């Protein structure tokens, strides 16, 4: 998962980044709220960790902007020195999902991050992803269309998993590279385009099949469901699958 950390205290910011990266997540640091908001308009994060007292724009103002302008339900964790009950109530009231006070306790922060991600992205624990006629078996790492298996290379399957877990969401190039190739990846950007082109061809991700893969120039990729889904298509009894759409 990719996590944005907003804090004007560099030592604390570095500590939080170290904790989440040791937990296997990618971290991106911001020292000003305005910089984070600009990045959110062209990039994707799975979680925000936000300090309250910031220069220029407070953490509360940042969260209010996120709730008003970011379509996805992006989880937010406040980590701040303010620990009065009224502060907690205000933070949760403005849209934060959780709240903890400084100084940071390593195991508590890791546990809260894990819990928030688990609640916000339950499909990551499912065994199958279904969208239209497509099905991804996350255990066997196999892809199917109308019951017919389509052979994908490991990186292609991981890209498909990212896309099918978050249909209609624009996934930035950095997000996809870090998620599929690793946190410290220096893979050329054209490698992503090559793999995406191959994935689009193998799965035939086009409108007539009800699912379309769209490239947004300079930003990333979006998987779009082009066929309306009826109520009786939203569950697959007995499969343990999550149906995306």
Q: Write the pLDDT tens digit of every residue in 21-62.
A: 888 888 999 999 999 999 998 888 999 999 998 888 999 999
Hey, what are 181's tokens? 């190739």
The residue with tokens 């978050």 is: 166
Name the most confidently modeled range: 61-65, 71-75, 87-91, 215-219. Answer: 61-65
Hey, what are 206's tokens? 């086009």
**Torsion angle, CA of 48/2/152/126, rounded to 10 degrees?**
-50
Nearest to 200 by CA among 212, 184, 190: 212
Which 3 state secondary structure label does DSSP give 44?
coil
Reply yes or no on whether the pLDDT at 72 is more than 80.
no
Q: For 74-86, how does the pLDDT look when each residue is reduced to its tens digit (9 = 90+)?
A: 899 999 888 788 8
Hey, what are 152's tokens? 């994908």
pLDDT at 123: 53
Q: Give the strands of the sheet with 142-145, arranged side by side.
A: 148-150, 142-145, 134-137, 128-131, 241-243
pLDDT at 240: 39
Share of the chain above pLDDT 90, in %: 40
Compute the distance between CA of residue 213 and CA of residue 221 in angstroms, rounded to an integer: 7
Handedness of CA 22, 170, 220, 193 (dihedral sign): positive
Compute the distance between CA of residue 122 and CA of residue 71 in angstroms, rounded to an integer: 18
Compute the distance between CA of residue 93 and CA of residue 49 in angstroms, rounded to an integer: 16
List, in sequence order, every residue forming a beta bridge with 80; answer none if it has no partner. 101
Nearest to 74 by CA among 110, 102, 37: 37
Nearest to 162 by CA among 145, 144, 177: 177
Domains of the chain listed by start with CATH number? 2-120 (3.40.50.2300), 124-243 (1.10.10.10)
Task: Tell me the whole-structure pTM to 2 decimals.
Answer: 0.59
Compute the distance between CA of residue 166 and CA of residue 240 in angstroms, rounded to an integer: 18
List, in sequence order, every residue forming a beta bridge with 98; answer none if it has no partner. 77
Check if the beta carbon of residue 13 is closer than 8 Å to that of residue 37.
Answer: no
Q: For 117-176, how does the pLDDT look when each residue is reduced to its tens digit (9 = 90+)?
A: 877 776 544 688 888 899 999 888 999 999 999 999 999 999 999 999 888 788 888 888
Q: Is 130 exposed, middle or buried (0-12, 13-18, 19+ CB in 10 A)?
A: buried
């Amino acid at each position: 998962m990719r996590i944005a950390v907003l804090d004007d205290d560099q030592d604390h910011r570095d500590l939080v980044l170290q904790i989440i990266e040791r937990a296997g997540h990618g971290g991106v640091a911001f020292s000003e709220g305005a910089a984070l908001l600009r990045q959110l308009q062209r990039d994707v994060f799975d979680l925000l960790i936000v300090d309250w007292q910031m220069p220029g724009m407070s953490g509360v103002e940042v969260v209010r902007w996120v709730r008003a302008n970011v379509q996805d339900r992006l989880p937010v964790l406040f980590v701040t020195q303010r620990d009065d009950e009224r502060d907690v109530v205000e933070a949760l009231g403005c849209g934060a999902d959780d709240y903890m006070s400084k100084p940071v306790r390593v195991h508590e922060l890791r546990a809260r991050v894990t819990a928030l991600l688990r609640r916000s992205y339950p499909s990551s624990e499912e065994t199958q992803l279904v969208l239209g006629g497509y099905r991804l078996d996350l255990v066997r790492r196999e892809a199917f269309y109308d019951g017919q298996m389509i052979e994908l290379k490991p990186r292609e399957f991981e890209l498909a998993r990212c896309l099918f877990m978050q249909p209609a969401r624009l996934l930035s190039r950095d997000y996809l590279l870090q998620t599929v190739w690793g946190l410290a990846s220096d893979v050329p950007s054209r490698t992503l385009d090559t793999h995406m082109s191959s994935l689009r061809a193998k799965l035939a991700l086009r409108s007539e099949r009800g699912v379309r893969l769209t490239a947004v120039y300079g930003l990333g990729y979006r998987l779009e469901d082009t066929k309306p889904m009826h109520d009786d298509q939203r569950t697959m009894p007995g499969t343990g699958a999550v149906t995306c759409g």
